[in-house]
Amino acid sequence: MAIGQTRTKRKDWVAVGGQYEYRVLTIPRSTSRGDARRMLTEQAEYGRWELARSVIYVGGERKVWLRRKVLRVRSTLAETS
């Protein structure tokens, strides 16, 4: 796995309670702290994600939970009779 890559798939995204959408990122131990921070900053800026939780395991692997509000969009098109 290249530096800065994470193991995420669409199945790792979970909608909970209709308010927030969660994404779980697994960052390998070979990724430097600076690269991980840069990657999470990009997710926050461009994907509107915010940090919900993070865990660093004994082997150095990091698991990060990101969340963002789920926006419900209503149609503005008026039906004509």
pLDDT tens figures, 33-61? 999 999 999 999 999 999 999 999 999 99
**7 has pLDDT over 60:** no
**70 has pLDDT over 90:** no
Q: Is this structure's pTM higher than 0.75?
A: no
Cα separation, 63 vs 27, in Å, equals 6
Compute how many other C-beta atoms are within 10 angstroms of the C-beta atom of residue 23. 20
Going by the DSSP 8-state scheme, the letter that residue 12 receives in this structure is G
